[in-house]
Amino acid sequence: MIYHKVLVVGGGLAGMRAAIAVSEHYTNVALLTKIYPVRSHSGAAQGGINGALCNNPRGLHDSCERHGFDTIKGSDFLADQKASMLLTAEAPKRIRELEHWGCPFDRTEEGKIAQRPFGGAGFPRTCYAADKTGHVILHVLYEQLVKHEIKTYNEWMVTKLVVEDGICRGVIAMELLTGKLHPIMAEAVIFTTGGSGRSYGVTTNARTSTGLGMAIPYMEGIPLKDMEFVQFHPTTLVGSNILMTEGCRGEGGYLKNKLGERFMQKYAPDFMELAPRDIVSRCITTEILEGRGFDNSYVHLDLTHLGAHKIITRLPGIREICINFKGIDPITQPIPIQPGMHYFMGGIDCNIDCATDVPGFYAAGECACVSVHGANRLGGNSLLETVVFGAIAGEKAVKYIEGKKDARKGEKALNSALEQQESKINNLLNNQGKEKMPDITKEMSETMLKKVGVFRKKDELKAALDKIKELIQRYKNLGLLNKNRKCNQELMWALELEGNLLVDETVVAGALVREESRGSHSRTDFPKRDDKNWLKHTVATYSSDGVKLSYKEVDTSIYEPVERKY
């Protein structure tokens, strides 16, 4: 049986940062990842990472407290305020840490880290490396992973979290090359597995973002929180839906409808294109629905007035993507864009220490819900969340281990879980069912996009919930074409599809019950925010009969909720 003091599951930014934090205290830490770490979806983050460094001349009066308030306001006051303030207070330290590790941030003329404006921010506080910020931070952290000689299980996939008597004992993981299942005992387990973007047919997310990392603890009784809050990024490239970074607008890009109007003037006259993402997504969708979009499906992101030098130096990745995937050059042509699903504000329910209700089990990054984003995340805060709470998760896991008296326990539970998972995999491979995975996947993603999108209403949400429940039942009759265990991607996708469906059920159920509009959750039949009845977190708990919903209070101990205006 494999044993580690701490096992980190997920090889993106949050996972690597957590493993590095643990390695400063214990050498027996390991990172397990479905794909090679530098291929993580964290690398797709383009625009930047937020922190009140006050390096931009327009941001000289910025502060961590102002950053915190912008984050809380951006969340539509559903974020837990002490958690948000911790995030922003840690920001300068973590950004400078990345700088000292070699992160090649863009610079001001004085040699300081450059900062650009981003949506919903009162000051320019987004630090960036051209438009490839996530990519460069990913490689910087991987260098630290190598430096600390951290054991890495590449192309391994967790299939079950093992909990015995309410305490986390480890995981069961599949070695994808061989198809063999392995029990891994750990005194603490940290999940950093990312989001569930492939639930939607139009998404910026990689195909690896399937939500299984949320579903695995959910099936073990660990709740998911605020899952109805799904962010749509306002600017994705029509066709492929590749992200067109918020940095495009931060550098001065315009949004225009088919009439040539900068239509954000009508909706957010003070912030214009740099209003928060939920607002800009709704404005673009409204323009399209009211007939002012091109081909009734998109608007233009216009960078042509920025000039070739700025685009080539500040947005080289965007230009490359536009040329390669759309055959247009943004130096001379506007970019056709539409909103696309981008990020889950909700996730595994955990506290400000990244700890869950199960001792020894922690979560950080997009799969977690510490609740720093509430109902809507500000651009630039996701990369920040990974390095801040990745480090915190690792540090708190170390502290937990130091106080434990039952080290190396749980072998019987792990062996029992291994037998159960062997049976599950064999049944899935041998099932002669008539349902095909592409059919279920297509119906799921179309349902989520059409009925649980930028705008929502009761009858569509009810239909979506019925459909997802139907697909969960049909999944039980799934038949796979590939019966081999070795390198069986169809088997991997089938396991992930179960996770997608269970996560989707929590999203739709929470959205149906929440009869208000708040942040990314916009109900056309309940267009106003309702603090009296809905200033609370939704908590989704698994049962064999379907999701069960309950609620938790929101921490509003610092700022009184007010109307959100831009």
For the chain, list the domains and their CATH numbers.
231-342 (3.90.700.10), 411-553 (1.20.58.100)
Residues in the chain with pLDDT < 50? none
pTM for this one? 0.95
Residue 342 Ramachandran class (φ > 0 left, ψ -120 to 50 alpha, else beta): alpha
Q: Between the CA of residue 432 and those of 233, 426, 479, 482, 501, what are the distances in Å? A: 40, 12, 5, 12, 21
Closest CA to 542 of 216, 90, 292, 234: 216
What's the pLDDT at 44? 87
Residue 467 Ramachandran class (φ > 0 left, ψ -120 to 50 alpha, else beta): alpha
pLDDT digits (tens, 9 = 90+) for 222-232: 999 999 999 99
Catalytic annotation on 233?
A: yes
The SS3 call for residue 472 is helix
Q: In angstroms, what is the C-alpha Rg of the chain?
A: 23
Q: Are 478 and 428 in contact (CB under 8 A)?
A: yes
Tokens of 493: 């996708």
What's the pLDDT at 94? 97
- Packing angle, helices 489-513 and 411-430, rounded to 10: 100
DSSP per residue over 292-342, as a string?
-SBTTTBEEEE-GGG-HHHHHHH-HHHHHHHHHHHS--TTTSPEEEEEEEE
Q: Tell me, rounded to whole angstroms, the distance of Cα 10 from its chain centroid.
A: 13
DSSP per residue over 336-393, as a string?
EEEEEEEEES-EEE--TTSB-SSTTEEE-STTEE-SSSTT-PPTTHHHHHHHHHHHHH
Closest CA to 192 of 348, 36, 332: 348
- C-alpha to C-alpha distance for 122 and 69, rounded to whole angstroms: 9
Listed in sequence order, the residues at least 6 apart from 252 whose beta carbon sits closer than 8 Å to its beta carbon are 305, 306, 310
Listed in sequence order, the residues at least 6 apart from 124 whose beta carbon sits closer than 8 Å to its beta carbon are 56, 58, 59, 115, 116, 117, 118, 250
What's the pLDDT at 205? 93
Closest CA to 47 of 244, 252, 215: 244
Active-site hit among 17, 169, 198, 233:
233
CB atoms closer than 10 angstroms to residue 76: 25
- C-alpha to C-alpha distance for 370 and 87, rounded to whole angstroms: 10
Q: Are 374 and 385 in contact (CB under 8 A)?
A: no
Helices (H), 403-549: 411-430, 437-451, 458-475, 489-513, 531-534
Tokens of 231: 């962010």
Element (H, E) at 516: none
Tell me how many degrees the CA angle 495-499-504 measures, rounded to the nearest 5. 145
- Full 3-state SS string of 71-128: HHHHCCCCCCHHHHHHHHHHHHHHHHHHHHCCCCCCECCCCCECEECCCCCCCCCEEC
Q: Between the CA of residue 193 and those of 39, 244, 396, 433, what are the distances in Å? A: 13, 23, 18, 30
**% of residues, the chain, pLDDT over 70:** 100
Element (H, E) at 232: strand 230-237
Catalytic annotation on 537?
A: no
Instruction: Return the amino acid letter for 256.
Output: K
pLDDT digits (tens, 9 = 90+) for 129-158: 999 999 999 999 999 999 999 999 999 999
List 49's β-bridge partners, or say none.
Answer: 127
Active-site hit among 249, 300, 537, 564:
249
Tell me how many degrees the CA angle 462-465-277 measures, rounded to the nearest 5. 85
Which long-range contacts does 492-495 make (Cβ < 8 Å, 24+ apart)?
492/34, 492/157, 492/174, 492/176, 493/437, 493/441, 494/428, 494/437, 495/157, 495/159, 495/212, 495/428
